[in-house]
Amino acid sequence: MERIGVFICECGPNIKEALNVEEIAKYASSLAHVAFVKSHTLLCAEAGKALLKKEIIERNLSRVVIAACSPKEHESTFMKIAEEAGLNPYLVQIANIREHCAWVISDKVIATEKAKVIIRTAVSRVLLHQPIVNKEIDCTPDALVVGAGVAGIEAALVLAQKGRKVYLVEKSPNIGGRVVRYEDVFPKFECATCMLDPKLDEILHKNNIHVFTYSVVDEVLGYFGNFIIKIKKKARSVSTETCLGCGACFEACPVNVKNRYNENLNERKAIYIPFVGALPNVAVIDRKNCLHFRNKATENTEEKKCEICKANCPFGAINFDDQDEIIEIKVGSVVLATGFDSFIANKIPRSGYGKFENIYTGLEFERILSSTGPTGGEVILKNGESPKSAAIIHCVGSRSKKFHNYCSGVCCTYSLTFAHIIKKKSPNTEVFNFYSDFSLAGKGYHELYDKALEDGVNLIRTAGPDAVEVNEDAGSLVVKYKDAAGKESKLAVDMVILSTAIEPSEDATSISQLFDITLGSDGFFTEEHDKLAPVSTTTGGIFIAGCCQGPKDIQSSVAQGAAAAGKILSCLVPGEKLKLEATIAEIDEKLCSGCKICIGLCPYKAIYFDKEKKVAAINDILCKGCGICSAACPSGAVKARHFTSCEITAEIKEIMK
Partner 1 sequence: MIKPKVAFCWEASCGGCEEAVLDLNEDILKVIEAVDIVFWPIALDFKYADIENMNDNEIDVSFISGAIRLNEQEETVRLLRKKSKLIIAFGSCAHLGGIPALANFWDRESILKKVYREAPSVINPEGKEPQVKTKTASGELELPEFYDTVKALNQVIDVDYYLPGCPPSPDLIMQTITAILENNLPPKGSVIGPAKTLCENCSRKDSKPDIMTLKEIKRPHEVIIDPEKCFLAQGLICLGPATRSGCGERCIKANMPCRGCFGPTDNVIDQGSKFLSALASIVDFNDEEEIKKVVDSVADMTGTFYRFTLASSLIKRKRRLK
What are the residues binding partner 1 (CB under 8 A)? Answer: 521, 588, 590-601, 609, 614, 628, 631-637, 645, 649
Min CB(132)–partner 1 separation in Å: 19
47 versus 631: smaller Cβ distance to partner 1: 631
Min CB(531)–partner 1 separation in Å: 21
339 versus 504: smaller Cβ distance to partner 1: 504
162 versus 611: smaller Cβ distance to partner 1: 611
Tell me, letter by letter, the H, E, C secondary structure of 123-190: HHHHCCCCCCCCCEECCCCCEEEECCCHHHHHHHHHHCCCCCCEEEECCCCCECCCHHHCCEECCCCE
Q: From CA 490, how far away is CA 484, in angstroms rounded? A: 14
43 versus 616: smaller Cβ distance to partner 1: 616
Residue 142: which of 156, 125, 126 has the closest Cα?
156
256 versus 649: smaller Cβ distance to partner 1: 649
Helix (H, G, I), strand (E, B) or coil at 550: coil
Min CB(528)–partner 1 separation in Å: 18
* Phi, then psi, of 487 in degrees rounded to 5: -85, 130
Residues in the chain: 657
288 versus 653: smaller Cβ distance to partner 1: 653
Min CB(341)–partner 1 separation in Å: 25
**In 483-550, which ranges are E strands?**
488-493, 495-500, 502-504, 542-544
Burial class (CB in 10 A: 0-12, 13-18, 19+), 657: exposed
Distances 496 to 96, 392, 421, 630 between C-alpha atoms, Å: 64, 6, 15, 57
Q: From CA 401, how far away is CA 385, in angstroms rounded? A: 38
371 versus 593: smaller Cβ distance to partner 1: 593
380 versus 597: smaller Cβ distance to partner 1: 597
Q: From CA 368, how far away is CA 360, in angstroms rounded? A: 9
493 versus 584: smaller Cβ distance to partner 1: 584
Min CB(594)–partner 1 separation in Å: 6
Contacts of 633 (CB under 8 A, 6+ apart): 592, 597, 598
DSSP letters, 72-97, are HHHHHHHHHHHHHTTS-GGGEEEEE-
150 versus 637: smaller Cβ distance to partner 1: 637
280 versus 594: smaller Cβ distance to partner 1: 594
450 versus 588: smaller Cβ distance to partner 1: 588
One-letter amino acid at 254 equals P
Residue 448: which of 241, 252, 185 has the closest Cα?
185
Min CB(591)–partner 1 separation in Å: 6
510 versus 635: smaller Cβ distance to partner 1: 635
393 versus 618: smaller Cβ distance to partner 1: 618
Q: From CA 603, how far away is CA 473, in angstroms rounded? A: 55
Q: From CA 117, how far away is CA 483, in angstroms rounded? A: 65
Min CB(191)–partner 1 separation in Å: 45
1 versus 656: smaller Cβ distance to partner 1: 656
Contacts of 222 (CB under 8 A, 6+ apart): 228
Min CB(600)–partner 1 separation in Å: 3
Q: From CA 481, how far away is CA 466, in angstroms rounded? A: 9
Min CB(645)–partner 1 separation in Å: 7
Cβ(550)–Cβ(556) below 8 Å: no
Q: Give the burial string for 445-467 (b: 16+ CB within 10 Å, else e).
A: bbebbebbeebebebbebbebbb
Cβ(62)–Cβ(34) below 8 Å: no
109 versus 595: smaller Cβ distance to partner 1: 595
Min CB(626)–partner 1 separation in Å: 13
Residue 61: which of 34, 40, 98 has the closest Cα?
34
Min CB(90)–partner 1 separation in Å: 20
Contacts of 74 (CB under 8 A, 6+ apart): 43, 44, 66, 68, 94
Cα 606–chain centre separation:
21
Min CB(614)–partner 1 separation in Å: 7
Min CB(187)–partner 1 separation in Å: 38
Min CB(405)–partner 1 separation in Å: 15
Cβ(629)–Cβ(600) below 8 Å: no
Q: From CA 478, how far away is CA 204, in angstroms rounded? A: 48
Cβ(177)–Cβ(148) below 8 Å: yes
Q: From CA 477, how far away is CA 517, in angstroms rounded? A: 45
Contacts of 337 (CB under 8 A, 6+ apart): 145, 146, 147, 148, 149, 151, 152, 155, 544, 545, 546, 548, 557, 561, 564
Cβ(388)–Cβ(380) below 8 Å: no
Min CB(336)–partner 1 separation in Å: 23
Min CB(504)–partner 1 separation in Å: 18
